[in-house]
């Protein structure tokens, strides 16, 4: 009987701390975008050195969130694809963002985990291998998602070579050109990070009709078939 109890304790203890080792082995996960109620929002800092991050550590088991604001809290793994955070809203450390688009995305990003003091767990996660990179997708109890990558896109080896967009500013037609852009997809986000347009690119130089977009600043995320990406900024007149 004692042996059975001992085995049960071991099994329960193991399950309480089980996690995908890749989650811990990756020091930094860079936030790419979030999906809230079916709407995609790209991080305004995506592809820049100061992009927002999350990280998972063990001994102690902690979860770190950092964008404009940040917090650190304990984490409990219920399986190798699920985890929970404390129900109580953690203490938020205020950051230094002054650009409204970054502040807006930060508040949306936080709601993946805590929404105005309301806990949005438990959470599931999946890790996808993409060559030398990894993608982490965290899903909360409402079905909202946070998408992370292991490598900040400002690193040259993960970007296209010689991507250009012109004219910039543009009024009706925007041309995108590079030496290795064929079979790529382009997604355009407004300055608040909301997707407003997407298109397939199948030539080395292709024109995009942006006449329907409102005047303002936009982010263009180009993703090649081999997983390489580049984020560019342009102005619509």
How far apart CA 61 and CA 198 sit, in angstroms, is: 39
Asked if pLDDT for residue 79 goes beyond 60, the answer is yes
Contact 153, 6 (CB under 8 A): no
Residue 230 banded pLDDT, cuts 50, 70, 90: confident
Q: May I ask the CATH architecture of the domain 21-149?
A: Beta Barrel (2.40)
Burial class (CB in 10 A: 0-12, 13-18, 19+), 145: middle
103: left (phi over 0), alpha (psi -120 to 50) or beta: alpha
Sequence spans of domains, the chain: 21-149, 163-236
pLDDT value of residue 17: 52
Structure token digits, residue 148: 């992370």
Sheet containing strand 205-209, edge to edge, reads 164-166, 173-177, 205-209
Same fold flag, 21-149 and 163-236: no
pLDDT value of residue 189: 83
CATH label, 163-236, candidates 3.40.50.10090, 2.160.20.10, 2.60.40.1930, 3.65.10.10: 2.60.40.1930
How far apart CA 24 and CA 229 sit, in angstroms, is: 25
**Average pLDDT of span 167-178:** 88
Residue 6 banded pLDDT, cuts 50, 70, 90: very low
Q: Is the pTM of this model over 0.85?
A: no
Higher pLDDT, 1 or 199: 199
- As separate numbers, helices (DSSP H) first and strands (DSSP E) second, the chain gives 3, 19
Encode pLDDT of 159-169 as tens digits: 555 678 888 88
Asked if pLDDT for residue 125 goes beyond 50, the answer is yes
Encode pLDDT of 86-115 as tens digits: 999 888 877 767 788 888 999 999 999 999
Residue closest to 219 by CA, chosen among 211, 205, 230? 230
How far apart CA 83 and CA 18 sit, in angstroms, is: 9
Asked if pLDDT for residue 191 goes beyond 80, the answer is no
8-state DSSP, 156 = G
């Amino acid at each position: 009987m004692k042996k059975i109890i001992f085995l049960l304790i071991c099994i329960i203890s193991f399950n309480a701390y089980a996690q995908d080792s890749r989650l811990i082995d990756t020091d930094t996960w860079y936030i790419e975008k979030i999906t809230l109620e079916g709407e995609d929002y790209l991080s305004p800092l995506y592809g820049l050195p100061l992009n927002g991050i999350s990280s998972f550590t063990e001994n102690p088991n902690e979860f770190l969130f950092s964008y404009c604001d940040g917090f650190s809290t304990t984490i409990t793994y219920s399986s190798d694809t699920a985890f929970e955070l404390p129900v109580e809203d953690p203490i938020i450390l205020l950051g230094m963002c002054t650009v409204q688009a970054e502040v807006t995305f930060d508040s949306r990003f936080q709601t993946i985990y805590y929404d105005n003091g309301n806990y949005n767990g438990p959470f599931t996660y999946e890790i996808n291998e993409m060559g030398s990179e990894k993608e982490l997708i965290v899903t909360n109890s409402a079905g909202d998602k946070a998408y992370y990558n292991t490598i900040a896109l400002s690193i040259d080896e993960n970007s296209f070579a010689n991507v250009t967009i012109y004219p910039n500013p543009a009024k009706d037609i925007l041309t995108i050109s590079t030496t290795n852009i064929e079979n790529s997809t382009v997604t355009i986000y407004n300055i608040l990070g909301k997707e407003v347009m997407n298109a397939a690119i199948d030539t080395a130089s292709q024109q995009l009709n942006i006449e329907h977009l409102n005047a303002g600043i936009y982010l263009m995320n180009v993703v090649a078939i081999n997983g390489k990406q580049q984020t560019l900024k342009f102005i619509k007149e």
